[in-house]
Amino acid sequence: MSLASAIKEARDLVLEKKEITIISHIDADGIASEAILSQAFSRAGIEIKSVFVRQLEPLTMSRVPKDSSFKVFSDLGAGHQQLLEEKGLALDEVLILDHHISQPGKINYHQVNTLQYNYSKMSASGLCYLLAREIDSANTDLAKISTIGNVGDMMAREDGGLVGPARDIVEDGILYGNIEARKDIGFYGLSTRPVYLCLTFHDDPFIPGISNNQSAAIKFIEKTGVRLKENGRFLVWEDMTFDEQKKFTSSFIQYLLANNVQVDKFFIEHYMFPDEPPRTSLRNAQEFATLLNACGRWSKPRVGADVCRGDRGAAYRDAQYMLTNHRAVIRELLEYIIDTGVTELSHLQYIDTGDKYPDTIVGIGAGMALSKLNRRKPILVICSLPEEPEVCKVSMRTNSQMVEEGLDLQDALCRASQEVGGGGGGHKIAAGAYISKGSEERFIGRVNEILRGQLHPKSSANR
């Protein structure tokens, strides 16, 4: 069956229901998925309820109501169908919309999974959008939320932008008028981050002499002749005139060439939202996704979903507060990692942060710390979960250079965690796992071995 036919079947299944419970994940993709489904279902006159969970596990399954409502699992479910069976959910009570590896149980639940169609570059919010559009072609306004979910789930990370069906969804948004796709300098924070900080924090690829060096970044901007500030306020990329952006870009390219850095890696497709106010996190897909992640990782996914649904009052204020707090704690975590130092093995470096920081953010801090450490060795952070003392959470991050040299953190963490009775997943560049307490040393040793085996023979990290 094609993806289009599977989506049509899913539409027929949901349209005959009166009440639906959406069970979704707390990350940007899960929040975007819920926001899309809830609007598409309500617009079709279906009564909805929503539940957000960090992951499907026996404890969180108790939050899935035992009632007559039809259950739609988005951005989760595929890997935990056995739990749905144990919950007593029957074949005709469930639809799974997911992009994670499927673990079939005895019941063959209705499922649409991007992996069934070899679309590894589209996440669950893409599927939710396709379903929403199939329910009613007027739902193309939701292409924007789907794009936030796809970008938030790193689907644009490896190809300089979204590709395949996820990129087709962008076209729907462009036609509707709430997305502008723009090939531009690959900085994070075009709408809210002063340009000198975009330069300072840009570390993948690393900018020799500028990454992590604020004064060098400021000097570079001053030398290009574009404005650094206006009326005492530092300019963000969007504040610059077209001529300033052109001038900056051409000086930047010259600098990269002079430093033997591959230029094309610094240009990506950005998804901007012209219907949102300039200089806010709502203005582009990357920053909007961070806002959603901040809500989800601090246990307020519903606030993020309300912002996606258009709430620019209380929910937006709460989300901004979460984002400010999120950034402050990550900065603190970054300093903690650098000050405490990491332990280096031959092919990775690791640190145990104990219960000092929530497991939901240690990976983000690790990713930021990497450029200040040995960039050729992925960083692994291990932390404990106060509410589950028998379990440890592991987060790993590397950079695109090491992925090109063969590293695949998802593969490494999946294999090593399975060997110690845990489980993991994610992406080549960023992955996570849960393992049992006591197995840390064996697990880290195995990850190190697997990483060594992944590196291409010519990689200098392998010598």
Q: Which residues bind ligand C5P (CB under 6 A)?
A: 363, 395, 423-427, 430-434
Q: Which amino acid is at 446?
A: R
To the nearest whole angstrom, how small is the minimum distance from the Cβ of residue 179 to ligand C5P?
23
To the nearest whole angstrom, how small is the minimum distance from the Cβ of residue 393 to ligand C5P?
7
Closer to ligand C5P by Cβ: residue 178 or 417: 417
Residue 267 phi/psi, 5-degree rounding, is -125, 125
With 0-12 / 13-18 / 19 or more C-beta atoms within 10 angstroms meaning exposed / middle / buried, residue 118 is: exposed
**CB neighbour burial string for 152-179, b if at least 16 within 10 angstroms, e if fewer:** bbbbbbbeebbbbbbbebbebbeebebb
In the Cβ-directed half-sphere of 282, how many Cα atoms lie within 13 Å?
Answer: 20
Closer to ligand C5P by Cβ: residue 34 or 239: 34
To the nearest whole angstrom, how small is the minimum distance from the Cβ of residue 354 to ligand C5P?
16
What are 185's strand-pairing partners? Answer: 267
Closest alpha carbon to 146 in 320, 28, 274: 28
To the nearest whole angstrom, how small is the minimum distance from the Cβ of residue 398 to ligand C5P?
12
Helix H or strand E segment including 230: strand 229-230
Closer to ligand C5P by Cβ: residue 75 or 269: 75
143-152 and 285-297 helices, crossing angle to 10°: 70
Question: CB–CB of 52/24 below 8 Å?
Answer: yes
C-alpha distances in Å from residue 323, one per residue of 192, 291, 303, 326, 399: 12, 6, 12, 5, 24
Can you spell out the DSSP letters for 191-209? Answer: TTSBHHHHHHH-BTTB-TT
Which residue is listed with tokens 């033997």?
260
Closer to ligand C5P by Cβ: residue 268 or 330: 330
To the nearest whole angstrom, how small is the minimum distance from the Cβ of residue 186 to ligand C5P?
20
Closer to ligand C5P by Cβ: residue 368 or 430: 430
CA 44 vs. chain centroid, Å, equals 29
Closer to ligand C5P by Cβ: residue 218 or 430: 430
Closer to ligand C5P by Cβ: residue 140 or 395: 395
To the nearest whole angstrom, how small is the minimum distance from the Cβ of residue 414 to ligand C5P?
9
Question: CB–CB of 230/239 below 8 Å?
Answer: yes
Closer to ligand C5P by Cβ: residue 69 or 74: 74
Closer to ligand C5P by Cβ: residue 126 or 424: 424
To the nearest whole angstrom, how small is the minimum distance from the Cβ of residue 426 to ligand C5P?
3
124-135 and 3-15 helices, crossing angle to 10°: 60
To the nearest whole angstrom, how small is the minimum distance from the Cβ of residue 52 to ligand C5P?
14
To the nearest whole angstrom, how small is the minimum distance from the Cβ of residue 413 to ligand C5P?
8
**CB neighbour burial string for 52-84, b if at least 16 within 10 angstroms, e if fewer:** bbbebeeebbeebeeeebbbbbbbbbbbbbebb
Closest alpha carbon to 272 in 258, 282, 263: 282
